[in-house]
Amino acid sequence: MKKGWKWLIEYQSLIWIVVAWELVVFLQIMPERLFPSLSKVLVVAFELITTGMLIDNLPITLFRVFAGFALAAVVGVPLGLLMSRSKLLNDLVQPIFSLGFPVPRVALYPILVFILGLGSASKITMIFLECLFPIVLNTYYGSTRVGKLYLWAAQNMGANRSQVFWRVLLPATMPSIFTGLKIALPMAFIIAILTEMIGATAGMGYLLTYMSASLMQEKVLACVVLITVVGYLLNLLIQKIQQKYVYWQ
Amino acid sequence: MDKRLQKIAAIEIVVLLAIWQVLASLEWIPAYLSSPYVVGREMWALLISGDLFTNAASSLYRSLISFLLVMVLGIVFGIVSGFFKPIGTFFQPIVDVLNPVPKIALLPILMVWFGISDTTRILLIFLTAFFPCFIATKDGVHGVKQVFVWAAENMGASKLQILWKVVLPASLPKIFDGLRVSLGLTFVMMFSSEMIGSSNGLGLGFMILLADMAGRTDLMFVSVFFIALLGFLFDRILLAVRARLLWWSENRG
Q: What is the pLDDT along chain A (249 residues), one digit of tens a residue?
A: 677 888 888 788 888 888 888 888 888 777 777 788 888 888 888 888 888 888 888 889 999 999 999 999 999 999 999 888 888 888 888 888 888 888 888 888 888 888 888 888 999 999 999 999 999 999 998 888 887 888 888 888 888 888 888 888 888 888 889 888 988 998 899 899 988 888 878 888 888 888 888 778 888 888 888 898 898 888 889 888 888 887 776
> Does residue A90 sit at the B interface (CB-CB below 8 Å)?
no
**What is the per-residue pLDDT for B200?**
64
**pLDDT reported for residue B252:** 45
Structure letter (DSSP) for residue A158: T
Query: Does A91 sit within 8 Å of B12, measured CB to CB?
Result: no
Residue pair B216/B201 in contact (Cβ under 8 Å)? The answer is no
Distances (CA, A) of B47 to A49, A121, B52, B222, B223: 51, 34, 6, 10, 11
A215 has a chain B CB within 8 A of its CB: yes
**Does the pLDDT at position B229 exceed 70?**
yes
- Residue A126, Cα to own-chain centre: how many angstroms? 13
In chain A, beta strands by DSSP E: none
DSSP A167: I
User: A104 and B187: CB-CB below 8 Å?
Assistant: yes
pLDDT at A75: 94
Whole-number Å distance between alpha carbons of A78 and B141: 35
Residue A201: its pLDDT value, please?
Answer: 81
Using CA atoms, how far residue A53 sits from A16, A131, A224, in Å, is 31, 28, 14
**Contact residues on chain B for A14, CB-CB shorter than 8 A:** 93-94, 97
Phi and psi of A239, rounded to 5°?
-65, -40
Q: Which residues 6+ apart lie within 8 Å of B107 measured at CB?
A: A197, B120, B124, B193, B196, B197
Q: Which of B93, B180, B221 sits opposite A11 (nearest CB)?
A: B93
| DSSP codes joined into one string, A142-154 | HHHTS-HHHHHHH
Is residue B12 predicted with pLDDT exceeding 50? yes
Minimum-distance CB partner of B192 among A106, A114, A223: A106
Taking the CA of residue A160 and the nearest CA in chain B, the distance in Å comes to: 32
Confidence check: pLDDT of B253 > 50: no
Whether the CB-CB separation of B33 and A115 falls below 8 Å is answered with yes
- Position B219 scores a pLDDT of 85
Higher pLDDT, A33 or B174: B174
Q: Are A196 and A127 in contact (CB under 8 A)?
A: no
> How far is residue B160's CA from residue B142's CA, in Å, rounded to a whole number?
17
pLDDT surpassing 90 at residue B90: no
CB pairs under 8 A between A and B: 139
* Contact check, Cβ <8 Å, A194/B104: yes
Taking the CA of residue B120 and the nearest CA in chain A, the distance in Å comes to 15
Of B155 and B28, the structure prediction assigns the larger pLDDT to: B155
Q: Do B188 and A104 touch (CB under 8 A)?
A: yes
* Among chain B residues, CA nearest to A9: B90
> Do B72 and B126 contact (CB within 8 A), yes or no?
no
pLDDT in tens, A187-197: 899 899 988 88
Where does chain B have alpha helices with state H? 3-25, 36-49, 51-69, 75-83, 85-98, 107-114, 118-142, 146-154, 159-161, 168-195, 204-214, 217-245
Q: Is B14 exposed, middle or buried (0-12, 13-18, 19+ CB in 10 A)?
A: exposed
Q: What phi and psi values does residue B128 have, to the nearest 5 degrees?
A: -70, -45
Helices (H) and strands (E) in chain A, counts: 12, 0
Q: Give yes or no for a contact between B108 and A212, defined as CB atoms under 8 angstroms apart.
A: yes
Which pLDDT band holds residue B67 (cuts at 50, 70, 90)? very high
Residues 142-161 of A with CB under 8 A from B: none
**Option in A102, A197, A205 nearest B235 (CB):** A102
Q: Does A45 touch chain B (CB under 8 A)?
A: no
**Cα–Cα distances in angstroms (integers) from residue B99 to residues A6, A151, A179, B64, B95, in the given order:** 23, 39, 17, 21, 6
Q: What is the CB neighbour count within 10 angstroms for residue B18?
A: 11
Q: What is the DSSP letter of B247?
A: T
Q: How many CB atoms lie within 10 A of CB B201?
A: 12
CA B205/CA B188 separation, integer angstroms: 10
Is there a contact between B82 and B142 (Cβ–Cβ < 8 Å)?
Answer: yes
Cβ-Cβ contacts under 8 Å, B223 against chain A: 107
Classify B102 as helix, strand or coil: coil
How does pLDDT run across B126-155, given as a tens digit for each residue?
A: 999 999 999 999 988 988 888 888 888 888
Residue A232 in contact with partner chain B when CB distance is under 8 A: yes
Q: Cα-Cα-Cα-Cα dihedral of A44, A45, A46, A51, to 10°?
A: 80
**Chain B, nearest residue to A30 by Cα:** B113
SS3 of residue A36 by DSSP? coil
Rounded to the nearest angstrom, the minimum Cα separation between B171 and chain A is: 21
